[in-house]
Amino acid sequence: MKKVIVILLVVLLLWVCLTLFTQYSGRGPSIPITSDHSSQNCLIVYNPDPFYNFDFLICDKIAEGLKTVGFDSQIMTLDKTKNVELSTYELIVICSNTYNFSPDWSTQKWIKEKNLLNKKTIAVTLGAGSTKRSKDKLEKLLLHNGASVIESKSFWLMKPNDQEKSNKTNEQVALEMAFELGRSVKLEK
């Protein structure tokens, strides 16, 4: 019995270390994606993690989709947004990773600190495949902080994003869906 408890404690400790490492040690690019016929600006924010750049790839595809409907997008990691004036953006896409069934801590903190009153936002929840609670939490947090959530979507690394597209990799499917998400945006003026 003692052995089992020790093993469980070690596993728990390792999981806590992995969570802390993942939440705080990611690096990722911040880039502009401009449209030839731009009339609106979009800020896309994400908190990179150290393992794989699924978050950036999804942000990039959303920006490419937005480009086709006349948006200039600025993709930024959260740590680069300190001096960003949110009022210059008509739309904000918040792309959060899921850790232990919740949106990543930096994204939650960012939402609480920024003035999102009446801001049009799109909530994007990424994860291996279990994101329902995290997605709900992200939406609630945005609404609680006065934002208007015009769309909310999850994309998964492991769980099939679309059962019917089995001839493509799951990641390809997710990226195509992210592009469509961007392309479907139409803001009322």
Ligand X SMILES: Cc1cc2nc3c(=O)[nH]c(=O)nc-3n(C[C@H](O)[C@H](O)[C@H](O)COP(=O)(O)O)c2cc1C
Interface segment toward ligand X; rule CB under 6 A; list 45-53, 68-76, 105-113, 136-144 = 45-53
**Binder to ligand X among 41, 108, 130, 145 (CB under 6 A)?**
130
On whether the CB atoms of residues 94 and 107 are closer than 8 A, the answer is: yes
Q: Which of residues 80-109 bind ligand X (CB under 6 A)?
A: 97-101
Nearest alpha carbon to residue 169 among 22, 57, 44: 57
Sign, Cα dihedral of 47, 115, 101, 139:
negative
The size of the chain, in residues, is 189
**Binder to ligand X among 34, 52, 162, 180 (CB under 6 A)?**
52
Strands (E) across the chain are located at 31-33, 40-46, 71-77, 91-99, 102-103, 120-127, 148-156
What is the size of the binding site for ligand X (CB under 6 A)?
21
Considering the complex, state which of residue 35 and residue 47 has its C-beta at the smaller distance from ligand X.
47
- 128 near ligand X, rule: CB under 6 A: yes
Considering the complex, state which of residue 25 and residue 115 has its C-beta at the smaller distance from ligand X.
25
Interacting residues with ligand X (CB under 6 A): 18-19, 22, 49, 51-55, 97-101, 126-131, 157
